[in-house]
Amino acid sequence: MNNIAYMNLAFSKKVLNFCLGYFVYYAIINTNWKKLPLIKAYGNPEWMWMMKVLHVTTIDVGGAYKAALRLHEGLLRLGVQSGILLRTKRNRENAGDEVFSNKLSAAISKAKNVWNMIWADGGITRDVLGTDISKNAQVREADVLVLHWINSFLTVRELKQLAALQKPILWFLHDMWPFTGGCHYDAYCGRYESGCGNCPLVSRRGDNDISRRNFADKAALLQCMDAVIAGPSSWIVDCAKSSGILAGKKVVYLPNMLDVEVFHPIEDKTGLRRRYGINGAKKVILFGAADAGTENKTKGFSFLREALAKLPRDKYQLAVFGNAGGNLKLPEGFDVTLLGFIAEEQKLVEIYNLADVLVNPSRQEAFGYTACEAMACGTPVTAFPVGGLREQIAHLESGYLAAFQNAEDIAKGIVYCAENRERLGMRARKDAMRYSYENAAPAYLKIMEAELNNAAR
């Protein structure tokens, strides 16, 4: 090829590349991307890379963060751009970004929380000072905002600022707080159905007490917030639908997720017990003391304590992980091993596996992550038939649902599960698979795609 022909060919390639580049640029800037189908089917993510989801939660510990993290991971596996925004990040290795760029801003936020607590009455706070995140870059760039546990972070005022951005919002219910006058669980008082007031948790009770004012503020907020409300159990979804705060709002069931590849059965239980200094000759009863579980009345440790008194000391022992109280007041001579707070998931998996039965005696429970995690590890669960626990456990097949607040039946459930661990554990593992990323994540995508399409109209 002579030089002239070679130069003509090179020039033609440059012209072709320029035209192609201009065509792509023109297509990008003139396409209404939000009107394109984001997800046509699970496993066929044509435009999924465009969706940006941001989870907002207060801190990187606790069940709400677990739920946010696992939803985040489930969406990432499907190709969605997902992030987590936190007020406080205790572990630098955890996923998520702190909203504050400097220590001064973080200190001001803590001072606001102190001020809010000053105006608290009993177990109810009236948050008036929060953190405005509406100008945060991640918030601005997100297509969908997912609110998780936002207490001590966002108040009604800040939520109104988020609503003004006119972005689709999915508000996930980790407890009852979003639709009550301030309690996280109502202890079956039911006042949230009629506007709260005369709250049993406050010292200055009255028709217009702090719970009634909180209720009115939230009701006004939800009237101007275009949000879908989601709950991880049919029970909490039904409760939410009966609250005046959420009148007219779309309330749906969406399951929590679990990485069933991480939470799995381990065969060498003898070795695990030896590693954690637990007697291998006795059956192991496990209790997870999240949120000061041994002192928290809602978590029901008192029923377990009473049940232990009905069991033979020479055959059963107790293991407690999490934030256990200093004095468990156990029956005299009952062996107990305090495992402390467990931050590493692999250690948590080992602890679930060394147990013969997990007991979750909560009086109210939106979901019950300890039950789900234990079942995924092949450990049966004894619990009361409440909230998400009733939906996770198949009575006498994957665990035992004891008569409500009946310690004697809890004891019967412990014995039944411990004596039938292998059979129940196989079914428990199978049932926990419904919460896997693969099985649960597509439901979230369907909701998010629908809300994005609605916003684009």
- DSSP for 271-289 reads HHHHHTT--TTSEEEEEEE
What pLDDT shows up at residue 21? 47
Same domain flag for 306 and 231: no
Q: Do the Cβ atoms of 333 and 301 come closer than 8 Å? A: no
Joined tokens for residue 429? 């593992």
Q: What is the pLDDT of residues 303-346, one digit of tens each?
A: 999 999 999 999 999 999 998 876 799 999 999 999 999 989 99
- Asked, for residue 21, whether it belongs to a domain, the answer is no
Which of 273, 271, 411 shows the shortest CA–CA distance to 334?
A: 411
Which of 270, 179, 231, 301 shows the shortest CA–CA distance to 64?
A: 231
What pLDDT shows up at residue 392? 98
Residue count (the chain): 457
Same domain flag for 133 and 221: yes
386 versus 26: which is more confidently predicted? Answer: 386
- Given phi > 0 = left and psi -120 to 50 = alpha, else beta, which region is 357? beta
What pLDDT shows up at residue 147? 98
Instruction: Judge whether residue 61 has pLDDT over 50.
Output: yes
Neighbours of 430 (CB within 10 A): 15
Neighbours of 426 (CB within 10 A): 14
Which of 218, 216, 182 shows the shortest CA–CA distance to 201?
A: 182
- Given phi > 0 = left and psi -120 to 50 = alpha, else beta, which region is 345? alpha
Same domain flag for 105 and 251: yes
Which of 226, 268, 232, 263 shows the shortest CA–CA distance to 248?
A: 226
Q: Do the Cβ atoms of 372 and 392 come closer than 8 Å? A: yes
Instruction: Judge whether residue 5 has pLDDT over 50.
Output: no
- Asked, for residue 22, whether it belongs to a domain, the answer is no
Which of 259, 130, 178, 45 shows the shortest CA–CA distance to 170?
A: 178
Which strand ranges, in their side-by-side order, compose the sheet holding 169-172? 97-98, 81-88, 52-59, 144-147, 169-172, 227-231, 250-253
| Mean pLDDT along residues 287-293 | 79
Same domain flag for 355 and 443: no
Place of tokens 């941001």: 54
- Asked, for residue 314, whether it belongs to a domain, the answer is yes
Same domain flag for 121 and 246: yes
99 versus 34: which is more confidently predicted? Answer: 99
Same domain flag for 421 and 311: yes
Q: For 442, what's the count of Cα atoms within 13 Å in the CB-facing half-sphere?
A: 10
| Mean pLDDT along residues 227-250 | 96
Joined tokens for residue 350? 């080992």
- Asked, for residue 330, whether it belongs to a domain, the answer is yes
Same domain flag for 79 and 197: yes
SS3 call for 82: strand
Same domain flag for 130 and 186: yes
Give me the helices (H) in 154-209, please. Answer: 156-163
What pLDDT shows up at residue 457? 63
Determine the Cα–Cα distance for residues 347 and 151; give it in Å rounded to an integer.
29
* Local confidence band at 49 (pLDDT 50, 70, 90 cut-offs): low
Please count the structural domains in the chain: 2
| Mean pLDDT along residues 239-268 | 96
Min mean pLDDT across 142-146, 160-164, 324-328, 439-443 is at 324-328
Determine the Cα–Cα distance for residues 218 and 182; give it in Å rounded to an integer.
10
What pLDDT shows up at residue 238? 98
What pLDDT shows up at residue 44? 42
Euclidean distance between the first and the last CA atom of the chain, given in angstroms as a whole number? 57
List C-alpha distances in Å: 457 to 292, 404, 449. 47, 48, 13
| Mean pLDDT along residues 355-366 | 97
* Rounded (5°) CA angle 390-392-395: 65
What pLDDT shows up at residue 32? 43
Same domain flag for 336 and 390: yes
- Asked, for residue 19, whether it belongs to a domain, the answer is no
What pLDDT shows up at residue 323? 83
What pLDDT shows up at residue 177? 97
Q: Do the Cβ atoms of 152 and 113 come closer than 8 Å? A: yes
The most distant pair of C-alpha atoms in the chain lies apart, rounded to whole Å, by 100
Same domain flag for 329 and 351: yes
- Asked, for residue 405, whether it belongs to a domain, the answer is yes
Q: Do the Cβ atoms of 154 and 130 come closer than 8 Å? A: yes
The DSSP annotation for 341-398 comes to: ----HHHHHHHHHH-SEEEE--SS-SS-HHHHHHHHTT--EEE-S-HHHHHH--BTTT
Beta bridge partners of 357: 285
Instruction: Judge whether residue 18 has pLDDT over 70.
Output: no
- Asked, for residue 169, whether it belongs to a domain, the answer is yes
Neighbours of 325 (CB within 10 A): 14
What lies within 8 Å, CB to CB, of 258 at 6+ separation is 70, 369, 372, 373, 376, 432, 435, 436, 437
Per DSSP, 147 falls in state: E
What pLDDT shows up at residue 326? 67
* Local confidence band at 452 (pLDDT 50, 70, 90 cut-offs): confident
Instruction: Judge whether residue 353 has pLDDT over 50.
Output: yes
- Asked, for residue 242, whether it belongs to a domain, the answer is yes
Instruction: Judge whether residue 9 has pLDDT over 60.
Output: no
Assign residue 395 the CATH number of its domain. Answer: 3.40.50.2000
Give me the helices (H) in 30-83, please. Answer: 63-77
What pLDDT shows up at residue 198? 96
13 versus 395: which is more confidently predicted? Answer: 395
Joined tokens for residue 100? 């504050």
SS3 call for 321: strand
Domain containing residue 404: 269-435
What pLDDT shows up at residue 294? 81
| Mean pLDDT along residues 165-191 | 97
What pLDDT shows up at residue 275? 96
Query: pTM for this structure?
Result: 0.87
Same domain flag for 210 and 316: no
Min mean pLDDT across 23-37, 84-98, 155-169 is at 23-37
| Mean pLDDT along residues 344-370 | 97
Same domain flag for 334 and 446: no
Mean pLDDT of the chain: 89
Determine the Cα–Cα distance for residues 134 and 136; give it in Å rounded to an integer.
6
What pLDDT shows up at residue 296? 87
Instruction: Judge whether residue 274 has pLDDT over 80.
Output: yes
Instruction: Judge whether residue 201 has pLDDT over 70.
Output: yes
Q: For 388, what's the count of Cα atoms within 13 Å in the CB-facing half-sphere?
A: 24
